[in-house]
Amino acid sequence: MPHNFHVAFPKDRLWKERSGLNLNTHYTHSQLIGSAIFRRLGVPMPDSRPVQVRVNAANLAKPGQEQFGAYAANEVVDGNLVRRQFPSDDGGNLYRGVRDMIPGIDSDADLVWHGPSYEAYTNAYAKENNAALNDWSDFIRLIDVLNNTPTRTTRPRSARWPTWTSG
């Protein structure tokens, strides 16, 4: 299987308001369809497009399953994504679940409560913007609400679901 690539653009010369692209080859169809579906539903989501990549004039992406002859060009998840997706409220924080951030330390980005200290979450989550502030209070509050709020108060009204899911 061909290697994935990361293409970074200079901060002072973004390309289409993007700081980079991740060119992935594993299950490209799933990445492309998933991004398209969520974006169509209005869910803020990194853009993903099929692209042809040549290395020494050769297309290394296989024509069959997993790659279908193309790479998935996925938008980098960072502060530029937040500014583009939320232009009227671009000061929010962006967190990303990451598998095996620190080798040898088992961690899962499973939104499970591990206490009020942000350090309990840094093996499984990365803060993708506003990192200098090192303020994880919004993330800790989200995890707290998801895990420690009684079920009855977090259930959506069933009447809203058809409206929310329809396009």
Query: Does residue 59 sit in the same domain as residue 104?
Result: no
The structural domain count of the chain equals 2
Distance between CA atoms of residues 46 and 82, nearest Å? 10
The pLDDT tens digits for 124-157 are: 898 988 888 899 999 999 999 999 998 765 555 5
Do 51 and 25 meet the contact criterion of CB atoms below 8 Å apart?
no
Cβ atoms of 70 and 64 closer than 8 Å: no
The residue from 51, 78, 105 where one domain ends is: 78
| Residue where a domain stops, chosen among 46, 78, 110 | 78
Burial class (CB within 10 angstroms; exposed 0-12, middle 13-18, buried 19+) of 137: exposed
Q: 69 and 122, same structural domain?
A: no
> Do β-strands 54-55 and 58-59 pair in parallel, antiparallel, or remain unpaired?
antiparallel
| Bridge partner residues of 23 (DSSP) | 5, 73
Q: Could you report the per-residue pLDDT of 8-42, keeping only the tens digit for each?
A: 999 899 888 888 999 998 888 899 999 999 999 99
Question: Does residue 73 sit in the same domain as residue 106?
Answer: no
> Is residue 162 domain-resident?
no
Residue 35 domain boundaries: 1-78
